[in-house]
Chains A and B, each alone.
Chain A
């Protein structure tokens, strides 16, 4: 079986060899840091030292002190902790949550669970390109709003939200701001203070780290209070219990360092690839680029082919590993809720490809991808010209 061209870096990324090497040092007895970092003996202390080194690296990647980093099993857990943790801890302030229709499922499903528990949730609807206006947030804020959750970079569109301006509105009303920055780390500068985030979700496997590890960065300030959702042992300042997975955390730490170190060069390289790719795809008949690069990050390109049957399109591209909607919905074949929230009809939403570029992406791969996509679109249009 021929290898597919991987164009799904927004779904997950390969572990960087340097990350894998650091992880291997914490796996098995050849390494020095495989013990339980909560153990007080030498083996435990060695693991703890590696964990704390990684904590500092992850914090530094977003301009936060190490002590603000709470390690989790991934961004889904981070988002759950941020939303449920804040709303449950701050019942005295209120029960109102504001978020956006195009957030990641982990935010939306946590919001849904909170609504079942009696919270009130306002869902903002972004504009056609996926942008949320700070004025929309301002208009939705109430005295009893506890938390506003807006993602930095949308995983399907690549659109970047105006977080700084949103933060000013949120803080003017005394509410907290949670930012899902999973797709941002390594793709654009992420700075907790500059963004104005009170809590910030990160995931290692979106930036060449391992799956199964993430963080919630929690600003240490009066009013930033969360209730834990995993209890027992009092790890991570009591916000997240459970034995710390040393190799995973160490891998995350190295990945975070690399993300920062490579940011500028990689952004320029991916930006150039994206420009060529976007021009080529936009030139195909009836192709619509859903978020122009001026509003988003270069590595995610969402493009719709009106009148083409979406599932057939993907089926006709066996050489390409890419996504239709988002990969994170447990293989759900439904048209993307993100595109529908922007006002696209179901057929257009289904006829959308998300190409996401990364470290292994080459100009040659993208030329092949464009060729294949152009061919498939033409074939399908010929089969069903009226659709």
Chain B
């Protein structure tokens, strides 16, 4: 049985989530826009899911716009908010997911002035740089993620929000990786737009949400049919949304236990890694998600190490799964030395991992280390 340690890429569906979805893949198959009983049953299920997702982040249900996933949520946030604003300056952190960076670059081609906000060596947003950027010509939109998918570093969003609001701009927060791993409260975060994804918290792939402050005039990205109060057209994927709702309810119920459990796994792994001479734990000095450990062993190539672990039955990631094979822009923005960055692998724990998964991973790393000839170990390349 393989050991799955890549929960930041995707999580397995929780059995209770699957059970909640099943009726909507069976007899309750109506189109939620239909006025008959089949349709109303679907509509009621979506309304319930909307309430569950809203509760995860302390929002009102009508603030939740369901999407096909985190990428669409991020795109809707940036394109949708920008369309309601006069082009101005757009600030995004240099370590955002490409689902934010690429829309930001697309907006730059459409007349927006894009500035990337720097982070320090531990992936923390430089608040002084944010202040300086906000002091310049009119900033209208800012996007900073809550937790980074690669390093797990958690940004001080409340502090960011104070500054962005004082400057009269809108703040989007990509909370895709944070949801289900940290407590989330829209009011405490202070952002106007918040992205969520179901499949990062034991819900199904293909469902996400953008939580929208009522003051934001959001232009839809996908048009036609008027669903989601005109903010996202298309027949709702009822089963997927029901699964998303069930997954968020589970996350709310289990969060304190999950945080403790994941944190203990992380501590166990990091203690073991520190025994390897020269091991670097990325962003070790910053507040991080309880489940994420990014590390590099000296002389190892991250891709080769990932493949070697894969052969031994361990699923880990190099950078982000979404652009495997290319160097990570996150590590680059942090100024990590290239020889270290090249060796980085990411372990992201899930709620069902156990201590023995950590121990067997550490044993595997040890065996690889002794099995590999020195030339291979130091080959770099």
A interface, CB within 8 angstroms of B? 1, 4, 6, 8, 11-15, 20, 23-24, 27-29, 34-36, 38-44, 72-77, 79-80, 104-110, 112-113, 203, 205, 210-213, 229-235, 241-248, 314, 320-324, 327-332
Contact = CB atoms under 8 A, between A and B. Distances in A.
Given A35-B10, A247-B205, A242 B15 contact: no
A113 to B, nearest CB: 6
Contact of B75 (A39, A108, A229, A322): A229
Contact of B10 (A36, A113, A234): A36
Given A44-B321, A232-B101, A329-B225, A4 B199 contact: no
Interface stretch (B181-189, B235-243, B263-271, B353-361): B235-243
Interface of B: 2, 4, 6, 9-10, 12-15, 18, 21, 25-27, 29-31, 33-39, 43, 67-72, 74-75, 97-103, 106, 197, 199, 204-207, 221-227, 233-240, 306-307, 310, 313-318, 321-325, 352
Given A4-B37, A232-B99, 17 more contacts: A14-B29, A36-B199, A38-B324, A40-B321, A40-B324, A73-B234, A73-B237, A76-B233, A106-B233, A211-B235, A229-B222, A233-B71, A241-B102, A243-B322, A245-B68, A323-B35, A327-B39
Nearest to B100: A232
Contact of B38 (A6, A24, A79, A332): A6
B92 to A, nearest CB: 12
Given A13-B29, A27-B204, A232-B75, A43 B4 contact: yes
A231 B104 CA distance: 10
Which of A29, A203, A320 has the most C-beta atoms of chain B within 10 angstroms of its own C-beta?
A: A29
Contacts of A14: 26-27, 29
A106 B227 CA distance: 11
Given A43-B315, A74-B235, A232-B102, A106 B33 contact: no
Nearest to A208: B29
Contact of A230 (B26, B29, B31, B75): B75
Nearest to B322: A233
Given A41-B315, A242-B99, A35 B6 contact: yes
A211 B236 contact: yes
A244 B205 contact: yes
Contacts of B15: 28
A94 B223 CA distance: 22
27 contacts: A12-B34, A12-B235, A27-B204, A28-B13, A34-B10, A35-B9, A38-B324, A39-B6, A39-B317, A39-B324, A40-B324, A41-B314, A73-B67, A79-B224, A80-B222, A109-B224, A212-B239, A229-B222, A230-B71, A232-B71, A233-B323, A242-B72, A243-B199, A243-B322, A321-B39, A327-B33, A328-B235
A233 B225 contact: no
Given A234-B323, A247-B205, A12 B37 contact: no
B6 A329 contact: no
Contacts, number: 273
A114 B321 CA distance: 34
A241 B33 CA distance: 27
B10 A243 contact: yes
B225 A41 contact: no
Contact of A248 (B71, B205, B307, B317): B205
A41 B10 CA distance: 12
Contacts of A109: 223-225, 233
Given A1-B37, A233-B322, A242 B68 contact: yes
A343 B43 CA distance: 32
B298 to A, nearest CB: 23
Nearest to B200: A243
Contacts of B313: 42
Contacts of A324: 35
A230 B34 contact: no
A322 B36 contact: yes
B2 A42 contact: yes
Most B C-beta atoms less than 10 A away, residue of A28, A41, A229: A41
Given A40-B321, A231-B103, A248-B240, A15 B25 contact: yes
A1 B248 CA distance: 31
Contacts of B321: 36, 38-40, 44
Contacts of A248: 204-206, 237, 240
Contacts of B25: 15, 20, 23, 210
A230 B79 CA distance: 10
Complex A-B, nearest 4 residue pairs according to Cβ-Cβ distance, in ascending order: A212-B237, A106-B224, A245-B206, A232-B99
Contacts of A232: 71, 74-75, 97-103, 322
